[in-house]
Each structure stands twice: as structure tokens, then as C-alpha cells.
A and B are shown apart, each in its own frame.
Chain A
Amino acid sequence: MHRVVITGAGTINALAEGVGATQAAMAAGRSGIGALQFSDVERLSVQIGAQIHGFAPEDRFELGKLALYDAFTQYALVAGAEAMAQAGLENAPDPARWGCIIGSAGGGHGTANDAYRAVYAQGKNRVHPLTVPKLMANAAPAHLAIRYHLQGPGFAVATACASSNHAIGLAFQMVRSGMVEGMLAGGAEAMLNFGGLKAWEGLRVMSPDGCRPFSADRNGMVQGEGAGVFVLETLEGALARGATPLAEIAGFAMNCDASDIVMPDQDSAARAIAGALSDAGMAPEEVGYINAHGTGTAANDRIETAAIRQVFGAVADHVAVSATKAMHGHCIGATGAVEMVACLMALRAGVIAPTINYSTPDPACDLDVVPNVARHVQVGAVLSNAFAFGGFNAVLALRAI
């Protein structure tokens, strides 16, 4: 068994491009949520989201390659480049022993949306010839693999809102077991288009006016987009090549409610949290921060609170728990990866990102939710929760190094 460390981190999301700028925005409690901008948005009942603005792909990628890059692939490549640069890697040191796993719920959703619009709404009889390789959900890990010569294991994970945590968790297990030397892992999502939001609208779980996790006046989730990508490798490999470990991934657990397709299950979520602690050999007392799934829906925040209390008991009153989705939105398949940026900030800078938009205590969400203002405190270990539609839970445990 090898110790597994993160040596590079990258992100792009509605708050900012780059880990440093994103952490600065999180520390300041800034929100990236605003009016959505895309065609037909006026036909939606929910018109807000955490959308990336000002990103000009034609300035970032060669035009020939851009024809193959849906926005979710672009975001993954931007985040991957930042992570690899921080890790001090031009390419995989040993291509056959390095791989890539990227989580995404919708894959090339915008590409599918555009193609459907062309054939259904505009009556066209052909779509762009590269539509399939552009929209496939494994396009993001494929293009990262091509760019960095990652010839080991590679695939996409689709577990809705837990996709990123599954991707990072599986990569962690591969590195820990010695199956590979290193992995690029994270998530990417770009579902903010008319078709995507129209589908979400039907479920009646989105807020028309803002994301307020754990607050009694919360009324739903707000969609976001973006990517987070991390370089994972063995501790000995990182030290041997002079890389700086940012944090240690110490444990991971995943399970399934195997019950309702959308309603979370307290006992099952608690089992995932307890499983991650157990896998990491981590006592609840060691955990200084939990990045909650914290979607801002009535059901999630209440059930997640109960699950944390179930595992932590009286210790739960002394753990800071925040939901950063109020800032970067719910990035669905990318959300765990963007939230990992907040976890790294807690472990490395001792800054716990706040739960912004918090106004009214809810007795059913009575944790220390770090309301509205970031907190400076030394943190030795963190958990990152993800509880997805389908009942799939994935919890990561990290330690400072």
C-alpha cells in the first residue's frame, strides 16, 4: 500500500479560473451566481446559475482541435493544465503507469443540445461530423490522456453529483494499490444550456432566487459548471522527483442507498461517511472540516446534517461544516472536484470557506456551518461529501501533509 498525495490542482468555475483565484473568492465569500446567458433563457422558469463568463475558447485552443472540444472538455483541459504545471510535469513521467479518470454527469451536453436544435428546431438534415466524439462523456479524460501521454487506465465516471468524488476516489485506490504511479483525476461539467436547464426545471428542485444551504429559508439548488482536476501520485514518487505534496488523500468510501432514485437516505449517507473515516484510520475528533454536499434543497441539507450527527455524535458540534455550492453553484459531475479546492484551502492555508447566504437557523440543520464569513483555523484533516441522484454516495478523507 502506498501513501497517496495530491501534487497539482487546477480549476475553472464561475468564481474564477485557477485555484488561487478561486480560493481567494471562497475566502471572501463571493458568489458566482447570477443571471444565466444563453439562447432561449427567457423561456425558463429558473434563470439564475453559476455560469463561467468571459472564457474565449478560440483564444485558448488550436482551432483544429477545438472542433473536438465540448465546453466540458475545454474546462477539463484548462484545469488539467494548471494541475500538471503545479505538479511540475510536462507529461506523464512513465506513460504506461499514469492514467486519467474524469467524472461528468452530462458529458458533452452542450454539443448534444446544439445538434438536437439543428435537426429538430432548425430542420437541418445534418449535424457537425464530429458530434459524437465531441459529446461522448469520455472525451474529457481522452483529451487529457492525449495531451499528457496518459497511457494507463482511463475512463469517465457518471454518478451524477458524486461523479468527481468517485473519479478521485477510484484514482486514489489505483495509486494506493500500486496499480499505477499516478493519475489525473477530477470532474468536468457544462450543462448550462436551454435543454439542460429545461430538463432540471421539471424536477422542481431548483431555486429561482439563490442557493442558501442549511438556512431555514433555503428553497433549492442552483446549477453551476466548470472543472477541477488534480494530480495524484505516490508520496515516494512525488518526493523522488522533487514535487511538493499539497495534501494526502487518506481514505475513500462509496456505497449505494439502493432505495429511492432521488431522495437521500440518512443511514446510507452515514455509512459512506463512516466508511471514509475507517478507510483513512481517522477518528471523528481528527476532522476539522467537512465540505458538505450541501445543495440547498430542503431534503439534502436536513438529511446530511442527520447523517453527520449519526457518525460524529457529540463531536459533530465541534466540526466546521460548510457548503460552498452557494458560491460556485452545484457543478453536478464537477462539483466534488471544485469543492476539493475548498478542502485544499482548509488544509494548506487554514482557511475554511464559508456557507454564504445564510440568514436563518434551521433546527434540522444545527451544525457549525461557518455562516457567511470564512474562518481562519488550523485544520489537520477534512472530509468531502457527495450524495448523488441514484443513491450513490462517495466520501473522501484527506490529511494535511
Chain B
Amino acid sequence: MHDQVFAIIAQEAHRAPEELRAEMTLEELGLDSLGLVEVIFAIEERFDITVPFNANETAQEQFDITSVGAIVRAVEKLVAGDTPSAAVA
């Protein structure tokens, strides 16, 4: 799952997956708000999950996007079914 999320983010950022490190932020990778929603869409399609993300919420409590590693952990939680209100973004 780690590799798949890295691959998705890398593709949107036009980087090679091996260039990504867990502590990198999306900003460092040059991903803007539209790049982010494309990443989320690709994650939803790949893992058949619904990501509870609203671009208006500054504190993304249900889906942490502060770094590449945080996104991997958030996806792992979602796939494990740990986020109760996933459908209510």
C-alpha cells in the first residue's frame, strides 16, 4: 500500500516514486489544490474507498495530508475501515 500511494503521488507530481520521502509535503512536491484532489481521486479509485476530504477545512482531522507519509497512514486507516464517517466528507 505504501508503494502504491507513493506511486500515485509521484505520478501527479511528475516525479519518480523513489524521489519521494515520507516527510515530504505536497507543497514541496509542487502539488497545488487541484493536484491534491487528483491524488485523492486516484487513491479512491485504486483502493475503492471514499476519502473524507473537504478543501475548505484547514485542519484535515479525518484525512491527514501534512506529508506523504501522513497520507499513507491515512489511507491505511481508511482501508482498514477505521474512519467511521468516511462517506460524509
Binding site for B on A (CB under 8 A): 45-46, 202-208, 218-220, 260-263, 297-299
Contact = CB atoms under 8 A, between A and B. Distances in A.
A207 B56 contact: yes
Nearest to B50: A45
Interface residues of B, number: 16
A203 B58 CA distance: 16
Nearest to B52: A45
Contacts, number: 44
Interface string B48-89: 001001111110000000000000000000000000000111
A261 B37 CA distance: 14
A310 to B, nearest CB: 23
Interface residues of B: mostly helix, strand, loop or mixed? Answer: loop
Nearest to B40: A204
Nearest to A206: B54
Interface string B31-54: 011100100110000000010011
Interface of A is mostly: loop
Nearest to B58: A298
A220 B34 contact: no
Contacts of B33: 262-263
Contacts of B88: 45, 208
A345 B88 CA distance: 37
A219 B56 contact: yes
A45 B54 CA distance: 11
Given A45-B87, A219-B56, A263-B32, 18 more contacts: A46-B89, A202-B37, A202-B41, A203-B37, A203-B55, A204-B40, A204-B54, A204-B89, A205-B54, A207-B54, A261-B34, A262-B33, A262-B34, A297-B55, A297-B56, A298-B57, A298-B58, A299-B56
